[in-house]
Copies of this chain bind each other. A is one copy, B any other.
Amino acid sequence: MHGSAESIRVLFRSRGLRCTRQREAVYAALAASRSHPTADELLSGVGGDDPELSLATVYNTLDALCECGLARRVPSESGGPCRFDADTSHHAHVVMPDGAVVDVPEDLSRAILSGVPADPLSELCRRLGVKVDRVSVRIHARPSPSP
């Protein structure tokens, strides 16, 4: 787990991030959450424990975390507020009609992502003159009617 104050400290240090009370709280909340929270949700979630936190700092912190690879912005087409994820492992997302984002369990993510064939990707690189960094899969789904 990455939730303890000490491991966060170590983690930050390893990325050259200064460790402040606020950053620690934001990262802990983000890492503990499964719901890909927005900056605002993180502020409220943390607010109870530590009222000494401003929205601007949440944004600044999230920027810093994304910058150094400790978090990711979750892609969205909603135009609404940006969502964040502290799980930077290679996994797929399920997107619900209301914009909620759920992680695909690790075993299924692996199966889905490794199914993406390599040949068309290298052909793509050749044609477009690019180098692939990462392939991201989003599954648009809706609640299935209960039987």
Residues of A within 8 A of B (CB): 72-79, 82, 94, 96, 102, 104-105, 108, 111-112, 115-117, 119-121, 123-125, 127-144, 146
Q: Which residues of B contact A117 (CB under 8 A)?
A: 111-112, 115
On whether the beta carbons of A125 and B141 are closer than 8 Å, the reply is: yes
Q: Which residues of B contact A123 (CB under 8 A)?
A: 108
The count of identical subunits is: 2
Q: In whole angstroms, what is the CA distance A76 to B105 when docked?
A: 23
Given the contacts A102-B128, A117-B115, A137-B135, A79 and B77 also touching, CB distance less than 8 Å: no
Chain A residues touching B, majority SS: mixed
Given the contacts A73-B79, A76-B76, A132 and B124 also touching, CB distance less than 8 Å: no
- Which of B75, B94, B105, B112 has a CB less than 8 Å from the CB of A130? B94
Nearest-Cβ distance from residue A16 to partner chain B, whole angstroms: 21
Q: Which residues of B contact A139 (CB under 8 A)?
A: 121, 124, 132, 134-136
Q: Which residues of B contact A104 (CB under 8 A)?
A: 124
